[in-house]
Amino acid sequence: MATIYDIKLTSIDSEDIPLSQFKGIAVLLVNVASKCGLTPQYTALQNLYSKYATQGLAIVGLPCNQFMGQEPGTAEEIKDFCDTNYQVSFPLTAKIDVNGEGRHALYDLLAGDDAVFPGDITWNFEKFLINKDGDVVKRFAPQVTPDSDEVIQAIEDVLS
């Protein structure tokens, strides 16, 4: 069975992001969108990244346009939006599908029938926490903010 480390993503700059580069560190994966009511979560995501990156947390934003077309921009527009409005310094990927026939292999692993937390992604800003061993340990609903006690506690647990 494939693991998270077998998956490759494409960065927003069209470069390979092999998830194997995250071996030994925790990762928060978040499907993101620029024109969503939850878009301000970028602030909390960036704050988490700034606080915990040196302790072994990576955050990867995965732009997705599957929810009411709320990520319509080009890669350059998404990058500019995130930089200008939220000073995002964590990696962003090229747009991907998280549900349906074109679902990226990463989301088959995260939310497919055989996943620890199966079920379609419900909206933008759904979050998956991966521990240092590459195991999916938590799934957070879109409305659960990155700076909530629940998310912070889960991150601190996987970092300890």
Please give the positions annotated as active site.
36
Which parts of the chain fold into alpha helices (H)?
41-52, 75-86, 105-111, 149-159
DSSP β-bridge partners for residue 58: 27
Sequence-ordered list of residues with C-beta below 8 angstroms from that of 11, at least 6 positions apart, any chain = 17, 91, 92, 93, 94
The tokens for 114 are 């055989």
Q: How is the beta sheet containing 26-32 ordered, strand by strand?
A: 57-63, 26-32, 127-130, 136-140
The CA-based diameter of the chain, rounded to the nearest angstrom, is 40
CA distance 69 to 85: 20
Residue 92 DSSP label = B
CA distance 11 to 140: 23
